[in-house]
Amino acid sequence: MSGGLLVAGTTSDAGKSVVTAGICRWLVRQGVKVAPFKAQNMSLNSFVTTEGAEIGRAQAMQAQACRIEPTALMNPVLLKPGGEQSSQVVLLGKPVGELSARGYHGGRQQQLLGTVLDCLEQLRGTYDAVICEGAGSPAEINLRRTDIVNMGIARNAGLPVLVVGDIDRGGVFASFFGTVALLSPEDQACVAGFLVNKFRGDVSLLEPGLDMLHGLTGRKTYGVLPFRHGLGIDEEDGLRVSLRGAVRESVVAPPLGEDVLRVAVCAVPLMSNFTDVDALAAEPGVVVRFVDRPEELSDADLVIVPGTRGTVRALEWLRERGLADALVRRAAEQRPVLGICGGFQILGEHIEDDVESRRGQVDGLGILPVRVRFAREKTLTRPSGEALGERVEGYEIHHGVADVTGGIPFLDGCRVGQSWGTHWHGSLESDGFRRAFLREVAAAAGRRFVPAPDTSFAALREEQLDRLGDLIEQHADTDALWRLIESGAPQGLPFIPPGAPA
């Protein structure tokens, strides 16, 4: 087998990332050597590879589905929004500058086509199959001329395209038809068919519509995936829950002790790597919620100030909403607070930022004895160490350089009383450390909470990836999917008017 596939979507958040991961896990269970690929990703959730490259967390998760180490080849272009109008451009794992949307789509994007095609070719030369993920919709006609992630990559690399639609949103037939009908004849020739995602109910009621869609487009539907809770892992574009919704989507065991432990996460602007709290949400008896009002901190046993792409902006937001004063009071009362990356910087005494916000000298909350200076070069590392008597692994992604002048050392940051700060993302995925930290929090909060002795976050992640593979194996036409990956889009697919506008 030697082939590939592009998983596109009728919309953003149609399920491209999880479908790509599911296909990868299904293939690897068949003995296929497979790798993921996304030419261009826009996300504040990122990861650091072993070679020190920054890529989207979704591609790191897909690499895990393939049971391989992620590399920069799998996500050569990463855009990290810094506001409404601009993003940091990360090329082959390293930041190369800030660009406005107009500047990027006005020419820079097309210049990167050769780079992304070269990365894809290297992967295809190494693996039996490469499963590519698109971005947004392939029918964004205003962006088609400079597209390097949807039909641009499919056409240039000769990839068949499978279009995923989220039927839970409604209008999936119109979305499928309209997506194809807005593409040029050459682009339409790449679109092999459709995959329905998040279906609830009796599939037999859907089948007449699928038959009509086939009659209208000449393209088959390769599967109908049922709605499943708890599969939205390592998402790209935003919170998978409403602001004050619980993180947990799946049912977990009740607490071992007499009490639950309540965790409030400040939903700061440009929040990055909010997946840090997933490991807490996986613990029986831990309730994790995102909050944006000071009164929501009052009954929390632990408050987390998470990472952010805009540290100074997030600090101002906390002050505007009264959350900053609430955090300072918590710290003074010896109630647990944890700052991660940008949140760690916010908890410090002083910030000097001529790089990210260009605001110069800014006072922090003064909770931790830390002074931060933003450097132009980004720190991208995979540190490991020990804390609370347990082995810890993590990853760092930040411009801020912390000068820690006091407190107790904690994961290259510090601790003062019940206030903790570190630049390390992912530390809570280390099971022994997470349990030790939760015991400290429970004791400080006066909660009779007992961490489960056997919760393995890595095992839970593997179970989720296997569930994604099961969805493909059980609810997709895997024989047809196999032929598509191996041989490309069927010949003679009909053109659906009107096609792309001139």
Tell me the catalytic residues: 341, 425
Helix (H, G, I), strand (E, B) or coil at 339: strand
For residue 471, give the nearest of 25, 142, 10 by alpha carbon: 25
* Euclidean distance between CA atoms 447 and 311, whole angstroms: 32
Q: Which of 194, 155, 157, 159 is nearest to 178 (CA)?
A: 194
Q: Which of 325, 369, 328 is nearest to 345 (CA)?
A: 369
Kindly report the number of other CB atoms within 10 A of residue 152's CB atom. 24
- 């591609």: which residue's tokens? 59
Residues 4 and 213: their CA atoms lie apart, in Å, by 25
Rg (CA), the chain: 23
- Check: CB of residue 485 under 8 Å from CB of residue 42: no
Burial of 258 (0-12, 13-18, 19+ CB in 10 A): exposed
Exposed/middle/buried for residue 358 (C-beta within 10 Å: 0-12, 13-18, 19+): exposed
**For residue 329, what is the DSSP state?**
H
Cα distance between residue 148 and residue 122, in whole Å: 17
What tokens were used for 30?
Answer: 């068949």
Tell me the two tokens of residue 384: 């490991």
